[in-house]
Amino acid sequence: MIRAGIIGATGYAGAELVRILLAHPEAEVVWYGSRSYVDQPFARQYGNFLKLVDNICSDDNLEELSHEADVIFTATPQGLCASLVSEDILSRCKIIDLSADFRLKDVSVYEAWYKIDHAAPQYLEEAVYGLCEINREDVKKARLIANPGCYTTCSILSLYPLVKEGLIDPDTIIIDAKSGTSGAGRGAKVPNLYCEVNENIKAYGVANHRHTPEIEEQLGYAAGHPLVLNFTPHLVPMNRGILVTAYASLKDAGTEAEKVHEIYESYYGNEPFIRLLPDDVTAETRWVEGSNYVDIGFRIDPRTHRVIVMAALDNLVKGAAGQAVQNMNLAFGLPETCGLEMPPLFP
């Protein structure tokens, strides 16, 4: 059995890691780390785990945990993992970091967008960006994995084949994204109160959302050169889910839908967690809730010569915990789908 420790177990992504790992046939959780609830029962914070988890919450002592675990998941705010990681720890176990600490290769970009000093820039080159569908072989060999963000996973996967194949002009990309409130975390914040969110939708982080450079960096690798795009997220009054609608101009105005279908099929046709949608179906968050799936579809607008790509995922599963477990499976030589084949929940 893979011994897994979770730092930040009482956040939404951490609790989702617990839910998935409890049903994983090859893993067990040995550490429920939570700075806010040390020495308190984990199930007291999440009643859905009553009689399923009897453990008491521990602290965030990464050094001590590294002697007990084979893999450590850090579902923590930006900066914490980088401040705790060391060569000794990485020599004993693998780390899968759900924060942004190791996603960006340029430390100056990280510090500019996140407004904090990076505590461990020496590991940026080594860290593998854990988007399994793109970096699968590198993940298998990694000891430090940067789990992608939720918005970025949906945005990158929706456009990657078209950018990689040069079908679209990357300088024309516009990404409109909408997320449920769990994406903001479990901390008490006035903008996330019920009365603030209910019966409302709003854009936020306009022209400065922190996931923007992550999307640009990864799609820039696909394009073969740096690129700049517009990314605008919105908050919608639901618990889970992300819907991305991305727009880009086709390089060849005569490109037909059949060609685009062929490209998506060549990249994703055999991917276990990507579902390519029929022409008459658009992506909906309700059909991926609670699952590790990403649903992707597209339309070509012949008037504007643009392609419109629509994608949906659960921000807490494929956008966080599920993807982290997918990375763990790869890193430990397990079938990639192990413990992740739960169907979406509905209603």
Q: How many domains does the chain have?
A: 2
Q: How far is CA 226 from CA 222, 223, 327, in A?
A: 9, 8, 26
Share of the chain above pLDDT 90, in %: 97
- The residue from 93, 126, 159 where one domain ends is 126
Separation CA 96–CA 148 (nearest Å): 10
Sheet strands side by side (includes 306-313)? 202-203, 230-235, 174-179, 242-249, 306-313, 294-301, 274-276
Quick check: is 346 in a domain?
Answer: no
Same domain, 158 and 212: yes
pLDDT class for 191, splitting at 50, 70, 90?
confident
Q: What is the pLDDT of residues 3-30, one digit of tens each?
A: 999 999 999 999 999 999 999 999 999 9
Residue 175 sits in a domain whose CATH number is 3.30.360.10
Q: What is the pLDDT of residues 282-329, one digit of tens each?
A: 999 999 999 999 999 999 999 999 999 999 999 999 999 999 999 999
Which residue is catalytic, options 150, 154, 195, 338? Answer: 150
Same domain, 120 and 179: no
Contact between 165 and 263 under an 8 Å Cβ cutoff? The reply is yes
Of residues 27 and 186, more confidence is placed in 27
pLDDT class for 186, splitting at 50, 70, 90?
confident
Catalytic: 150? yes
Quick check: is 106 in a domain?
Answer: yes
pLDDT, position 192? 85
pLDDT, position 189? 84
Same domain, 59 and 174: no
Domain that holds residue 256: 151-315
Backbone dihedral angles phi then psi of residue 155, each to the nearest 5 degrees: -70, -45
Quick check: is 267 in a domain?
Answer: yes
Q: What is the pLDDT of residues 256-287, one digit of tens each?
A: 999 999 999 999 999 999 999 999 999 999 99
Flag whether pLDDT at 102 surpasses 80: yes
Separation CA 76–CA 64 (nearest Å): 17
pLDDT class for 184, splitting at 50, 70, 90?
confident
DSSP 8-state secondary structure symbol assigned to residue 261: H
Share of the chain above pLDDT 70, in %: 100
Flag whether pLDDT at 188 surpasses 80: no
Mean pLDDT, residues 154-170: 98
Flag whether pLDDT at 202 surpasses 90: yes
pLDDT, position 220? 98
pLDDT, position 113? 97
pLDDT class for 209, splitting at 50, 70, 90?
very high
Quick check: is 28 in a domain?
Answer: yes
pLDDT class for 38, splitting at 50, 70, 90?
very high
Which residue in this structure is represented by tokens 């969110």? 197
Quick check: is 132 in a domain?
Answer: no
pLDDT, position 185? 85
